[in-house]
């Protein structure tokens, strides 16, 4: 269903700043990544989103395309980011149909609540494979096209009146590993790896004109992530730990994306842009709402009352 502009991008950005640009996004059917792509499409880009669920991905692509008349948005399902050949096929289709890739959002991720005592090796590996290996595969599959795009946009001052950028990648991470958090060991380890991957990309490919940055969202309203990490009856506890006193919005993540991909991000690379209302500074020892620390762990309770709960064993 078409969304009003104010739900996914601010009015401060000039229409058309991403005209003739192409964004490739993994996890693009998710609530945060779809808002990021929708904002870029509204501002002139065409897009390719990929995901594992065929119907969900294709339907989201059609929905995102309503952000701008004439927009081209591909939705490619049955793509597993853990399989680099799967990603390469999607990248080839994107380039063939849309003409190239200028921007990449590595957004595919896995998450659930579980203490180490109930976290199996396979469950830990699954999150590592989706988040870390998946991000690496996304980088590897798109790098040749990012290099080509970056080489075509060496001088940011050629067209000072509009964004003329390319060769940029954003990795979607989190803030959990800054202080650590109970029930989130697997995600903490994985996101630390994603951050390191982005920083290394910035160093190794900066000389080729590529910028690599991380966006680390905090608690964002209406997202599947919030449903997986908080019991409904305890969700208000999360707000009380956010210094700004509210959840973030997907639009605020999308605006951060436009900033990094636009002229505004020309000299920003190797950085982590935290969009969380300073929430991470109060999060230590506070897992998802409704799981009091340390009683929950000492009682060996099982996580219940959240979406997609896992029942893993040692």
Q: Catalytic residues, which ones?
A: 173, 191
Euclidean distance between the first and final Cα of the chain, in Å? 43
Nearest to 14 by CA among 211, 269, 259, 253: 259
Please name every residue paired with 169 in a beta bridge, in sequence order, or none if there are none: 104, 212
Nearest to 262 by CA among 55, 15, 5: 15
Q: Cis omega (within 30 of 0) on the bond before 294?
A: yes
DSSP code of residue 102: -
Whole-number Å distance between alpha carbons of 255 and 35: 9
What are the structure tokens assigned to 65, written together?
A: 């395309």
Whole-number Å distance between alpha carbons of 40 and 165: 13
Q: How many CB atoms lie within 10 A of CB 152?
A: 13
DSSP code of residue 118: G
In sequence order, what are the residues at sequence separation of 6 or more whose Cβ sits closer than 8 angstroms to the Cβ of residue 98?
22, 46, 47, 48, 72, 74
Q: Where are the alpha helices (DSSP H) in the chain?
A: 31-42, 54-64, 84-98, 121-128, 134-151, 176-179, 185-205, 224-229, 235-240, 250-261, 295-298
């Amino acid at each position: 269903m078409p969304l009003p502009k104010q739900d996914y991008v601010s009015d401060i950005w000039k229409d058309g700043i991403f005209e003739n640009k192409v964004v490739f996004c993994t996890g693009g059917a998710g609530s945060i990544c779809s808002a990021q792509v929708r904002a870029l499409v509204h501002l002139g880009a065409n897009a390719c989103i990929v995901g594992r669920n065929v119907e969900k991905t294709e339907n989201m692509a059609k929905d995102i395309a309503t952000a701008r008349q004439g927009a081209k948005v591909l939705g490619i399902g049955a793509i597993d980011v853990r399989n680099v050949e799967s990603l390469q096929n999607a990248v080839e289709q994107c380039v063939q149909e849309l003409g190239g890739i200028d921007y990449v959002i590595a957004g595919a991720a896995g998450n659930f609540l579980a203490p180490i005592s109930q976290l199996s090796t396979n469950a830990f590996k699954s999150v590592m494979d989706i988040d870390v290996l998946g991000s690496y595969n996304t980088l590897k599959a798109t790098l040749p096209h990012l290099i080509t795009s970056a080489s075509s946009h060496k001088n940011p001052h050629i067209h000072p009146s509009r964004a003329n950028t390319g060769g940029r990648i954003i990795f979607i991470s989190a803030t959990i590993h800054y202080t650590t958090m109970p029930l989130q060991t697997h995600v903490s380890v994985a996101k630390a790896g994603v951050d390191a991957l982005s920083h290394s990309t910035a160093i190794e490919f900066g000389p080729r004109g590529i910028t690599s940055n991380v966006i680390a969202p905090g608690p964002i309203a209406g997202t599947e992530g919030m449903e997986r990490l908080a019991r409904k009856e305890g969700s208000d506890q999360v707000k009380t730990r956010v210094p700004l006193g509210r959840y973030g919005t997907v639009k605020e993540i999308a605006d951060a994306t436009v900033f990094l991909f636009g002229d505004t991000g020309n000299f920003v690379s190797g950085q982590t842009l935290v969009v969380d209302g300073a929430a991470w500074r109060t999060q230590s020892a506070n897992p998802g709402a409704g799981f009091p620390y340390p009683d929950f762990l000492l009682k060996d309770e099982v996580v219940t009352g959240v979406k997609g709960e896992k029942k893993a064993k040692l």
